[in-house]
Amino acid sequence: MLWYKGWLETRYRLCMALGITAFFLYTLHSFPPQAKNQIFAVLQNTSAILLGMICTMLAGAGIVTQPAFQRTKGLHGSMLFTLTLPVSRLRLLVVRAGLGWVETAATIGAFCCGIWFASPFLRATATSAQVLEYGLTTLVCMSAIYFLSVLLATFLDDTWRTWITLMAFIFFWWFSHRVSLPAYVDIFSAVGKASPLIAHTIPWSTMAFSAVVSLALFFAAWKVAQAREY
């Protein structure tokens, strides 16, 4: 019943994530992009940031997680209870990281469908299949951010984790605009100008890179969770 517990912990976060997405889509709908460069701008910048934020929010996958709105108490008592149950730390991590990832996927899915309906221009210039491809690309590329947050969550409390992930994300985003990065590293391009909706191709190399980074970060998270003392 770890999934059930995780769900009880994160359902409000998911609602918030969907709410923010809905709000964004509403804004998009009210000021629909009329030209290619506008779509480009929307996807490259705004949505990348939005999705990064969402990943950060939903990755409360650390065993150090505290339920939302709970005062920080150092070592949270209920975590003591969880850790004394007959579950391995790996399983705890897999369930919570997995659940958060599924929720992120759901939000990205909602975002992609929403963007399709919000922008007539997009409907004209891209096929529905490409929207699905876009969703998949975004999910895989954003996973690197997600698992960074997972790793941080194994040893930081919620507040620190959220801010640091956000800082890291913004820094890399800014960096990718300053310096010309090789295609496979630039995940921001992958959800922007190199994405299926604009470039009409799937950026496989970036996705592969992100997948590898995600796995590495998850592995690191596992090692930290295993080594940690409570």
Partner 1 sequence: MTDFIIETNQLSKSFKSKQALRGLDLRVPAGSIFGFLGRNGAGKTTTIKTLMGLLRADSGSAQVFGIPVADADNSVGIRRRIGFVTEDKELYPYMTVEQIIRYTRSFFPQWRDDLERRYLERFELDPKVKIPALSKGMRSKLMLLLAISRGAELLILDEPTDGLDPAAIEDVLCELVSIAASSGTTMFFSSHQLAEVDRIADHVGIIDQGRMVVSGSLDDMKLRYQRLQVVFADSAKIPTHWSEGIESLRQQGRTVSILASRNVEDIAEQAQSIPGTTVERFPVTLKEIFLEHTRSN
Q: Which residues contact partner 1 by CB under 8 A?
A: 1, 4-5, 8-9, 67, 70, 76-78, 80-81, 83-89, 226, 229-230
For residue 67, the tally of other CB atoms under 10 A from its CB is: 13
- Between 86 and 182, name the residue whose CB sits nearer to partner 1: 86
Q: How far from chain centre, in Å, is Cα 3?
A: 19
- The burial class, CB within 10 Å (0-12 / 13-18 / 19+), for 128 is exposed
Nearest distance, CB of residue 221 and partner 1, angstroms: 16
Nearest distance, CB of residue 146 and partner 1, angstroms: 23
Round to whole Å and give the CA distance between 56 and 2: 21
Round to whole Å and give the CA distance between 204 and 66: 36
- Between 13 and 123, name the residue whose CB sits nearer to partner 1: 13
Nearest distance, CB of residue 220 and partner 1, angstroms: 17
- Between 88 and 128, name the residue whose CB sits nearer to partner 1: 88
Nearest distance, CB of residue 162 and partner 1, angstroms: 19
Round to whole Å and give the CA distance between 47 and 215: 24
- Between 4 and 174, name the residue whose CB sits nearer to partner 1: 4
